Amino acid sequence: MDEFLSKLADVSLFDMAPADLTPEEQAQDLVYEAYELPLAKAKKNIEKALKLDKTCLEAYEFLASKEKNIEKRFAILDKGIAIGREKFGGEFMKKFKGRFWGHHETRPFLRCLHAKARLFIYTGDIEESIEIFEEIIELNQNDNQGVRFPLLSLLIEWEDDKKFKKYDKMFAKDQSTEILYSRALYAFKNFGDNTAARKAAERAFKSNPFVVIFLLNNEHRPKKVDTYAFGSPEEASIYLDYAHVAWTEIEGAFEWLINTCMKLMDSLEFDTKSNTNSNKPQFLFQQV
């Protein structure tokens, strides 16, 4: 060990680089670097990456994330998805179907699928979005991407009770905010204002009251959220990105949720430790 360490003493870390990277690995590195560059330079990186590897899924994922034109974004994602289907079909599919996320090379493919499904939500093409979310879960049953959250909400909106029950049962142990609010909405839509629905609403409200707050007044809702903590305003905002339509368009749902949760305010305790009033549910309820 002493001999080995003494040999390392005068060696630069840069001299300890691994063997030459393959063209595919070089392409991936160029894409990773692109995320840290100004857009013009980043696109040059992507051009170089695609010259090295025409099937570099990370490159298509990057291009789609930066494209503002919806039709062009769809086209980029479609190309990436087509490459992914070819790469991971056949024997690979037979061997790893249901466990895709565990194989890192499949992740850009799954992310392209996810991005396309989200884009369909934005354009109002609910059925197409549902189909892609179902495919993602079929490919990766652990659902590391959390597509079950928008899927359950969309199934309520699409009035597909059979599939809602299927996926709710599949993720029965999930007690996240998104799932709890979807269960409350499903209960009200199908059974009205009964005891079970009110209990479901109470569980959801305790999990994250900001969902109700932002339904009442969108002004306080955080914008462009990438990460969140459980029970936070950011979590509520991400949920409402896809669930707002269902809560406001299903007849009576919005009013029922508000009335049910307002009655809970006096009996529930909240953690209001924060540097800003925007994180205090009571304060926001007073404002709306």
Nearest residue to 130 via CA among 142, 144, 143, 120: 120
Residue 286 has pLDDT above 60, yes or no: no
Q: What is the pLDDT of residue 218?
A: 85
- Record the pTM: 0.85
- How far apart CA 220 and CA 177 sit, in angstroms, is 19
C-alpha to C-alpha distances, 16 to 5, 7, 10, 19, 285, nearest whole angstrom = 13, 12, 11, 9, 59
High-pLDDT (> 70) share of the chain, %: 85
- How far apart CA 126 and CA 122 sit, in angstroms, is 9
- How far apart CA 88 and CA 47 sit, in angstroms, is 24
User: What residue spans define the domains of the chain?
Assistant: 172-288
- How far apart CA 115 and CA 125 sit, in angstroms, is 14
Q: Phi first, then psi: what are they for 98, rounded to 5°?
A: 95, -15
Alpha helix locations (H) across 161-226? 161-170, 177-191, 195-207, 210-216
10-64 pLDDT, tens digit each: 544 344 444 588 999 999 999 999 999 999 999 999 999 999 999 999 999 999 9
Q: Answer yes or no: are the C-beta atoms of 84 and 106 closer than 8 Å.
A: yes
Q: What is the mean pLDDT of the chain?
A: 88
118-161 pLDDT, tens digit each: 999 999 999 999 999 999 999 999 999 999 999 999 999 999 99
